[in-house]
């Protein structure tokens, strides 16, 4: 029997600061590109991150993924890593600018790299990471070769 | 093609218990959601339909008609109910939000003859929702588990 494919989305949040500055560019150009986000003291956001898992519903459990597993992974790998930090100081951003675009891709990669720690999601895939920087700005990443967007 | 979404709310209670698992496994898997007395949510349902804009009316669907079908087929069945005990399908299907979204699709799809159902989005809480695009999606995009071979943290 064909199994139904369901997308489950869980939402988390953390607070962090960043400064958008690319050391390979001259100061003037950094100011021109990043404007007030280039302010040397940095500034912060409450980031809301949504993680979407797509997969068949396990007929024994009724679940796409065990939420307790997903929450525990998000807590240790995302929230504990990024919450109340200055993103520029983290190893994740040693060689990239901590724009919300790059942070979104980084969170996707962390989930993908740790997927084996979610045994209940063995039949499922990471569908999307959506990251809100403010209520007006958000970014989505679906990996390098995403499934067709519905 | 244009997409129209109508939102509705209903409140219902449920608990999770799988007859395929032992009582101990049920408690471990579902935690406090395994309490047989149930617990409740204010569910927010979004029904998205798609179609072409009718040049005469300027509408993709008669919203009043959609609202009536949603009320009759879904809200009247689920609102203020104990899903496990009062909605027959959940006597043998665990009323997780995943299964509830699939069942809502089934309740609506044969009744929405005047438009094309595109998506059911069901919020259990503001921080948790599921999307279901119907049985055809599984055929269009088979699930390939997230690949482990590309799972090394990227060097940039």
Give the model confidence (pLDDT) of A2-30 as tens digits. 578 999 999 999 999 999 999 999 999 99
ipTM score assigned to the predicted complex: 0.83
pLDDT of res. B102:
97
pLDDT of res. A144:
87
pLDDT of res. A132:
97
Residues of B forming the active site: 33, 80, 124
Taking an 8 Å cut-off on Cβ atoms, the answer to whether A10 and B94 are in contact is no
Dihedral sign for Cα A132, A134, A138, A139, please.
negative
Interface test with B, best of A23, A48, A57, A71 (most B CBs within 10 A): A57
CB B142, CB A150: distance < 8 Å = no
If one compares B7 and B154, the residue with the highest pLDDT of the two is: B7
pLDDT of res. A79:
98
If one compares B49 and B57, the residue with the highest pLDDT of the two is: B49
Per-residue CA distances from A54 to A68, A98, B12, B108 (Å) = 17, 28, 25, 22
pLDDT of res. A45:
96
Q: Would you say residue B153 has pLDDT above 70?
A: no
| Average pLDDT, integer, range B58-74 | 95
Residue of chain B minimizing CA distance to A3: B138
**CA B35 – CA B28 distance, rounded (Å):** 12
Characterize the bridge pairing of strands B2-14 and B81-82: parallel
pLDDT of res. B57:
85
Q: How far, in whole angstroms, is CA A56 from its chain's centroid? A: 23
Q: Would you say residue B156 has pLDDT above 90?
A: no
Interface test with A, best of B146, B151, B155 (most A CBs within 10 A): B146
| Average pLDDT, integer, range B38-42 | 93
Listed in sequence order, the residues at least 6 apart from A39 whose beta carbon sits closer than 8 Å to its beta carbon are A19
What value does the mean pLDDT of chain B take? Answer: 90
């Amino acid at each position: 029997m064909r199994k139904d494919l369901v997308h489950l989305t869980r939402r988390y949040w953390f607070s962090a600061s960043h400064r958008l500055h690319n050391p390979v560019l001259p100061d003037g150009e950094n100011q021109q590109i990043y404007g007030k986000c280039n302010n040397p003291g940095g500034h912060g956001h409450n980031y809301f991150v949504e993680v979407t898992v797509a997969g068949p519903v396990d007929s024994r459990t009724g679940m796409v993924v065990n939420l307790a597993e997903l929450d525990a992974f998000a807590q240790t790998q995302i929230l504990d890593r990024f919450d109340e930090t200055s993103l520029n100081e983290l190893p994740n951003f040693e060689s990239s600018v901590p724009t919300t675009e790059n942070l979104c891709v980084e969170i996707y990669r962390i989930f993908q790299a740790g997927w084996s720690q979610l045994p209940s999601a063995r039949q499922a895939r990471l569908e999307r990471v959506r990251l809100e920087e403010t209520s007006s700005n958000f970014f989505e990443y679906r990996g390098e070769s995403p499934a067709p967007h519905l | 093609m244009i997409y129209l979404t109508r939102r509705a709310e209903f409140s219902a209670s449920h608990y999770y218990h799988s007859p395929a698992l032992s009582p101990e496994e049920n408690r471990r898997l579902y935690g406090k959601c395994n309490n047989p007395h149930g617990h409740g949510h204010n569910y927010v349902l979004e029904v998205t339909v798609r179609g072409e804009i009718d040049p005469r009316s300027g509408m993709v669907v008669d919203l009043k008609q959609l609202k009536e079908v949603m009320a009759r087929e879904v809200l009247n069945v689920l609102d203020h109910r104990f899903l496990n005990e009062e909605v027959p399908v959940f006597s043998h299907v665990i009323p997780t939000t995943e299964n509830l979204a699939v069942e809502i699709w089934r309740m609506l799809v044969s009744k929405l003859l005047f438009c094309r159902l595109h998506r059911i989005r069901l919020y259990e809480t503001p921080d948790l929702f599921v999307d279901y695009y119907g049985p055809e999606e599984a055929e269009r995009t088979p699930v390939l588990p997230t690949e482990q071979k590309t799972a090394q943290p990227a060097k940039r």
